[in-house]
Chain A
Amino acid sequence: MSDSVSNAAIAPPAVRGEVLEVIDAPKDAAVRVGRSRRRKGGRLPWLALLLLAPIVIFGLFGPILAPQDPTSINPSDALIPPMYFGGTWEHVLGTDHTGRDMLSRLIDGARNSLMVAFFGVALAGAFGTAVGLLSGYLRGAVDEILMRIVDMQLAFPAILLAVLLAAVIGGGLMTVIISLMITFWSTYARVVRGETLLQMQRDYVALARVAGASRWRIMRLHVLPNLLSVVLVLATLQLGAAVGFEAALTFLGLGIQPPASAWGLMISDGRLFMSQAWWIPTVPGIALVMTVLGANLLGDWLRDRFDPRLRQL
């Protein structure tokens, strides 16, 4: 759908030959949209949206929504259980060992998690897409070298890279984002390369070439817009993994650092008080599962709707 809009809007009408692309691209896109409509109807993934709604709303409007200051320590209110477990309306999800309000910490932590996951996935996506496009378009030696690098990247587990980075530059937001970028880009590169190879066989590429468009122009204006749906699906599928990865690193002390709020930090704090307060490690974990599950379901839905070819992922 967006393919037709972008292609038609970008191509200057007066240039001879480019007319061909304008004719070619929308028709191609229309066929695709028509097919996917028929397959799935117009149903939205309500469960996924429901699961993701809290974290997104918390992430965007956190400071307005938080009922209390997430960092205010109040020892007299320490270890109050959540409502329905002996707690009160004042602290709906209870308090932690220093008397901080769990709900406010949860809301505040959502922003950090979202930000890290979003930037990590976006940077990895941009870099991986560029590599995959170049590899698939240029083929030959460039393709061979880039794909071997991708293979090697896959042989280096993400967590090891993060451990190494944390040891050298210390833990923090940047460590998590850089590790996410360096480890996640290779999946995009591989998938985008495959998709580029397919797109290259389509008529619109041949027509653009006949019309005299340069390689750079074809890559940027014709092939790239047709890759965006694949990239978007992949990014959504990776978002859940990114949130989980950030939480794990933060839990180990390599990610977001105190006194900031983060779900991983809440869980690691809660470990020490588990025998008295089960809710401290449990509540942020449930938020984490909801987020990852929501992102996975949304990704699955987008994949089925826009790109059934990605089904093996």
Chain B
Amino acid sequence: MTRYVLRRIAFGLLSLFAVSLITFVTTRLSGDVTYLLAPMDATREEIAQVRANYGLDKPLPVQFATYLKNAVQGDFGTSIKYGVPALDLVLSRLPATILLSLTGFALALVVGVPLGILAARRRGGPADHFASLFSLVGQAMPGFWVAIMLQLVFAVTLRVLPTGGAGSPAHLILPAIAVSWFSIAAFMRLTRGSMLEVLESDYVKLARVKGNPERVVVLKHAFRNALIPLVTFAGLNLGVLLGGAVVIESVFAWPGVGQLMIASIGARDYPIVQAGVLVTASMFIAVNLVVDLLYGVLDPRIRNE
């Protein structure tokens, strides 16, 4: 187990390194990065100053080493627009993003899984057909468009929920539905498939033959075993939600990291974008690490691999 944990942690660190490398290389694609970091109306002296400050006059490997050193120390430069350290600004927006992603995740589980169980139990019935149609069409609807349609119906036409912003639980409802939309459909389809497979198995038949009530058979015997593929998917799905949140936040002016990053691209505030990407990617890697470690606990076969 110790070896497994160490290997996963090492891989997580390696991924972090790779993400920083990708970020670094991408920055250099544009040619001279000085112009991304300096204000647009900077004088020649100011540009030279920026270049010296960031060590941009040194060879690339040295620059990368400096960049890594600064990143480890939490120094991603200063926001051009707000004049405060980029990391501080990004971290101040992080709780909102985490709140939105986790609410969306909870919603996807609470809605998607029971619907999937229902569809599997009533196989071929109207509920099942509706569930299949919803998961098929639901997964084809882009999240940002779902977000706008929700705004159109509930905020603009019915006027029951706010169009955007944050501050009250009501502000969270539409963004959370939009963020979880795809995942609800996906969880439903997966739960249905997994349940159907398990319901056919011998031990479920035995549980029925023994005279257990249907509710016990479905929830205790079948569902527990149908959970295994769901856990795998849930782990992967958290990342999908995090990526989706970046887009949805912009639609609802939700004050999270994603909205900050998109707004900063327009304002040419490069340090913010870079800090935002690295922080979000780090969270993603951390989530994956936790999921991997959980598998190790749940399934002994994996940790001895």
Contacts and interface: CB of A to CB of B under 8 A. Distances in A.
Interface of A: 148-149, 151-152, 155-161, 163-169, 171, 240, 244, 247-248, 251-254, 267, 270-271, 274-275, 278, 281-282, 285, 288-289, 292-293, 296-297
B277 A160 contact: yes
B43 to A, nearest CB: 23
A243 B136 CA distance: 16
B15 A248 contact: no
B22 interface: yes
A214 B156 CA distance: 67
Contact of B141 (A149, A158, A168, A289): A289
A292 B139 CA distance: 9
A293 B19 contact: no
B163 to A, nearest CB: 9
Nearest to B18: A152
Given A248-B142, A289-B141, A163 B261 contact: yes
A27 B137 CA distance: 40
Contact of A292 (B11, B142, B149, B243): B142
A274 B145 contact: no
A168 B36 contact: yes
Given A163-B262, A164-B277, A166-B265, A158 B243 contact: yes
B266 interface: yes
Interface residues of B, number: 52
Contact of B270 (A165, A167, A278): A167
Interface of B: 11, 14-15, 18-19, 22-23, 26-27, 29-30, 36, 136-137, 139-145, 148-149, 151-152, 156-157, 239-240, 242-244, 246-247, 250-251, 261-262, 264-266, 268, 270, 273-274, 276-277, 280-281, 284-285, 288
A301 to B, nearest CB: 13
Given A151-B15, A157-B281, A252-B250, 5 more contacts: A151-B11, A157-B240, A282-B152, A285-B145, A289-B140
A273 to B, nearest CB: 10
Contacts of B26: 161, 164-165, 168
Contact of B247 (A148, A248, A278): A248
A163 B152 contact: no
B265 A163 contact: yes
B30 A159 contact: no
Contacts of A163: 246, 261-262, 265, 273, 276-277
Contacts of A254: 262, 265
B145 A160 contact: no
B243 A253 contact: no
B23 A164 contact: yes
Contact of A293 (B29, B36, B140, B276): B140
A171 B288 CA distance: 30
Contacts of B149: 281-282, 285
28 contacts: A148-B11, A151-B11, A151-B15, A152-B14, A152-B18, A155-B18, A155-B281, A155-B284, A157-B240, A157-B281, A160-B243, A160-B246, A164-B26, A168-B30, A251-B144, A251-B247, A252-B247, A252-B250, A270-B148, A271-B148, A271-B251, A274-B148, A274-B156, A281-B148, A282-B152, A285-B145, A292-B140, A296-B140
Contact of A169 (B29, B143, B247, B285): B29
